[in-house]
Amino acid sequence: APATPSVLSTRGLTKSFGGVHAVRDVSVGFLEGKVNGLIGPNGSGKTTFFNMVTGMIKPDSGEVMQGERSITRWAPHRIARLGIGRSFQLCRVFPRLTVLENLLVAVRPTSLASALLGAHHAPTVARAREILARVGIEHLEHAEARDISYGQQKLLELGGVLMADPRIIMLDEPAGGVNPALIERIATLIRELNAEGRTFIVVEHNMDLVMNLCDHIVVFDRGRPIAAGVPAEIQSDPAVLEAYLGV
């Protein structure tokens, strides 16, 4: 059988901050239609890598490819328009807007003004309600984001990502700081969205979740990929154990 194509890949991607080599010469590919995991110890370069792939920081060198096309140095909004969405490690929601308003402003920042003025575009509101139901927080529609739990804020942020209907969803620690019941909810949601054909790339420290959720995992250590494979391969890879345990 032919290899599953890489929907998103990098070639020699590199970024330093002063003397710190955050990401060093990384060439990796993520599989279309799969839940891809990206793991590694703290400081191994995962967030920097995400930020380069989504255009939020510019690489020193190397390429980011969507299929055969280079999207290196594209601005974040242009990359988003290709159908690549992302969430952030520290959940980004507007604390004093309601849950529903947060989804309305997620469509485009200019809609912030209309959201605040209460002048909502009816089809957008309908879509936002559909997505709130999808992520399971429709009952919180009128609550201010600051008043819902952190896990619910994570679901809200994912809802904001879904407003753009992305084909590729990059999640930075979706389970970080979230209680176990909601972690299960988030995992189920990722599986359902993946079954619809959306590709995921997930950075996560919760190893049970990573091993249960991911089809394919890339492991970073000190800015470099040190292993890639299915969960069983990663779990028994001596280089991975060494990276985590420092043995």
Q: Considering the rule CB under 6 A, would residue 20 count as an interface residue with ligand ADP?
A: yes
Q: Considering the rule CB under 6 A, would residue 150 count as an interface residue with ligand ADP?
A: no
CB of 205 to ligand ADP, least distance (A): 9
CB of 15 to ligand ADP, least distance (A): 8
Report d(CA 93, CA 90) in Å as an integer.
Answer: 9
Judged by beta carbon, residue 94 or residue 244, the one nearer ligand ADP is: 244
Decide: 63 and 11 in contact? Cβ < 8 Å. yes
Report d(CA 119, CA 135) in Å as an integer.
Answer: 24
DSSP conformation letters of 28-81: -EEETTSEEEEE-STTSSHHHHHHHHTTSS--SEEEEEETTEE-TT--HHHHHH
CB of 21 to ligand ADP, least distance (A): 8
- Write out the binding residues for ligand ADP, residues 193-232 only, by CB under 6 A: none
Report d(CA 133, CA 139) in Å as an integer.
Answer: 8
Judged by beta carbon, residue 151 or residue 223, the one nearer ligand ADP is: 223
CB of 46 to ligand ADP, least distance (A): 4
Q: Which residues bind ligand ADP (CB under 6 A)?
A: 17, 20, 22, 40, 42-48
